[in-house]
Amino acid sequence: MNPSDAYLAHMDAIVREKVRSIESARAPEQEHYLGQAELWQRVADHVERYRDELSFIVRDLHANPELAFEETRSAEVLATTLERQGFVVKRGAHSLPTALRAEWQSVDFDPRRHRTIAVLAEYDALPGIGHACGHNIIAAAGVGGFLGAAGIGSGKIVFLGTPAEEGHTGKEYMIRAGMLDDIDAAVMVHPFNYDLSAHTWIGRRTLKVVFKGIAAHASMQPYMGRNALDAANLVYQGIGLLRQQMPPSDRIHAVIDEGGHRASIIPERAEMSIYVRSLYVDTLMDLSTRIDDILTGAALMAGVEVERSWDTHPMSLPVRNNTTLADRWAQTQAARGREVLPFGVLPDSQAASTDFGNVSQLVPGIHPTIKVAPPGVALHTKEFADYAATDAAVTAAIDAAVGLGQVIVDTLCDDHLMNKARSEFENAGGPIRATDLR
């Protein structure tokens, strides 16, 4: 066993022990409303009716991966699937050419009395390794959840095809174009190596930095120059030292994109790309201020100018998990035979970012994970991409579609559930818009 295998085995043992201690301390709350069992069965029957279509989405998108903002073919696959079932699909929804929107509403729908629930789908892939984040599974689950819940209960269900999650913030662009204006709650699911009712997804900001110095002959007159690369190196070292004071859940990544072209010339220009991630909105902004201070200090020490460009694409906010709705998701998956681990089992340090965070800061939302690969197989690897095209991936998409559909129906039909979810959301601070943060 190599050291990394030993670590993974150790972590899995810790996870299992945490699960046992949590379950022994608190049995999950089981809430039901009149007719829930019958409605859940109807959702499951609806999804099963579309098994072939959902399987096709999983495998076809995997075989034809498309990058962020370029998902023309993938979006068309989802749109035509919904249109074959009689739904009107708006292409280019909410300002993005590859975004989609479709709706179902009951004949008695009244926005003053009924709720509108959104189910989201992603379908962009990663460069070089395709669907190593399993967005093909997310797409199938979102379509299936919409089809599974449509026609049940009183209210409105909105399907949203959301492009450009990988390295970008497609959902935030759509939010600014009105995507959530009429939405009361939002649901989606993400493939993973554990079944989790909720997980930590940290916020992310991007930063481009340019240092401008003065070129000089590196041997004859080095004292006449101002070395821009020195400033970039000082920033890199400063970030390394800052990590000692960072919480385990926070992350900073940096690369030097440009640092000169010939060793015999003092570099007059250096460029850096930096990612800043944090667990909460306020700590994300505070960490950004610390990085700004490092940039200023490095420029002063090297005697150069610094230009910074935050958020070329909008920032991704941390996901605010709505535990009320997440607990209901866990019940749906338990009914599918899955062992859903409660929130807090995996450490905060095992966290990535998603633009669903921007959605969850505006309306109650869930972003659970569904197991597709073994615990040791990480997202954004070739190994995970391989698992994303297996029979297990199709099964996960079906189970997730059923779960999303059942949670949607519950949010439409269960007043107690939605009142509790709303109260939790408001107690956590209410809506936070990325556009209000600087």
Record the tokens describing residue 54, joined without a space. 């959902």
For the stretch 223-268, pLDDT in tens is 999 999 999 999 999 999 999 999 888 999 999 999 999 999 999 9
Amino acid at position 151, single letter: G
Amino acid at position 437, single letter: L
Record the tokens describing residue 406, joined without a space. 């059942």
Domain 203-310 is found in CATH 3.30.70.360: yes
Domain 3-201+319-436 is found in CATH 3.40.630.10: yes
Q: What are the phi and psi torsion angles at 263 (to 5°)?
A: -65, -20
Query: Tell me, what DSSP letter sits at residue 217?
Result: B
Look at residue 190 in the predicted model and tell me its pLDDT. Answer: 98
Task: Give percent above pLDDT 70 in the chain.
Answer: 92
Q: Which residues pair with 130 in a beta bridge?
A: 126
Q: Does the structure show a pLDDT above 80 at 121? A: yes
Mean pLDDT of 76-84: 98
Q: Residue 350 in 3-state DSSP?
A: coil
For the stretch 334-348, pLDDT in tens is 999 999 998 878 776
First to last CA, the chain: 47
Helix (H) or strand (E) holding 90: strand 89-91
Nearest-5° Cα angle at 348, 344 to 354: 105
For the stretch 351-369, pLDDT in tens is 889 999 999 999 999 999 9
CB atoms closer than 10 angstroms to residue 299: 24
Q: What is the DSSP string of 14-52?
A: HHHHHHHHHHHH-PPP----TTHHHHHHHHHHHHHHTHH
Q: Alpha carbon of 387 to those of 229, 278, 342, 380, 426: distances in Å?
A: 42, 29, 24, 12, 38
Q: Does the structure show a pLDDT above 60 at 14? A: no
Cα dihedral 16, 24, 279, 136 sign: positive
Q: Alpha carbon of 159 to those of 187, 294, 438: distances in Å?
A: 10, 43, 31
Mean pLDDT of 306-332: 96
Mean pLDDT of 102-113: 97
Average of per-residue pLDDT values in the chain: 93
Q: Does the structure show a pLDDT above 70 at 38? A: yes
Alpha-carbon span 425 to 180, nearest angstrom: 15
Domain residues of the chain, as ranges? 3-201+319-436, 203-310
